Amino acid sequence: MKKIILLSLIVTVFSCKELQLLTQTALPLAPALTNLDIANGLKEALDNGVKKQVTKLTQTDGFFKNEAVKILLPENLKKVDSKLRNVGLGALPDKGILLLNRAAEDAVKEATPIFVSAITNMSFADAKQILMGHDSSATTYLIKSTSTDLYGKFYPVVETSLTKVGADDAWNAVTTKYNAIPFVTKVNPDLKDYVTNKALS
């Protein structure tokens, strides 16, 4: 257990590039550190990292006031935003954007076990590839091996969260007002799919 904790701390502190150097030099000097220890240490480090980031994102404004992850309007709704502002109804899309981000904050909190499971089920071969790979190897692994599964599990969580925070009602009001404007092309956006993908990103 001590070896796993030690490796966890090492993985947390060093980048993948530095870990490559470490595994090529220091690790061979410690023959007691098995492949299983290495894999478990990496999993523990990734698990801690995911939980730490999830905690940040699930706080109020964890998405909304974080420009790196804030969910903005999809391309097909930018014309809706612009048109409503032109007719003095800018408060509607403003509220809609806020509630999309509130839904993401709520959904990510509920979905933590999904991400943790993806890490827990990682094979030793995957762990080795992450340790010996490039700086974004962990991200690449999670995207490649879990995206479809995570989407399938995360979508209903987002769907529930959109309803829970009132985002569904807010966007129904937005689209109803917009669709009532003469000569506009009617819209019916799939916000569940959009928020699911953005939150997973």
Would you say residue 64 lies in a domain?
Answer: yes
Q: Is the pTM of this model over 0.75?
A: no
Within-domain flag for 121: yes
Nearest residue to 195 (alpha-carbon basis) of 100, 75, 112, 93: 100
Asked if the structure places residue 6 within a domain, the reply is no
Return the pLDDT at 60: 93
User: Which residues, other chains included, contact 137 with Cβ-Cβ below 8 Å and sequence gap of 6+?
Assistant: 16, 129, 130, 131
- Per-residue tokens: 143: 């995207």
Please report, for the chain, how many H helices and E strands are present, in that order: 9, 0
Percent of the chain with pLDDT over 90: 42
| Length of the chain in terms of residues written | 201
Residue 3 lies in a domain: no
- pLDDT at position 25 over 90: no
Res. 31 pLDDT band, cuts 50 70 90: low
**11 occurs within a structural domain:** no
Mean pLDDT lowest for which of 30-39, 42-51, 75-84, 174-183? 30-39
Range of the domain at 71: 46-200
Grade residue 143 by pLDDT with cuts at 50, 70 and 90.
confident
In a domain, 143, yes or no: yes
Q: Does some domain include residue 24?
A: no
Average pLDDT of the chain? 81
Which of 30-44, 105-119, 123-137, 163-177 has the highest average model confidence (pLDDT)?
Answer: 163-177
Residue 2 or residue 161, greater confidence: 161
Task: Say if residue 14 is exposed, middle or buried (CB neighbours under 10 Å; 0-12, 13-18, 19+).
Answer: middle
- The predicted pLDDT at position 22 comes to 39
Name the domain count of the chain.
1
**Rounded Cα–Cα distance for residues 156 and 143 (Å):** 19
Asked whether residue 57 is assigned to any structural domain, the reply reads yes
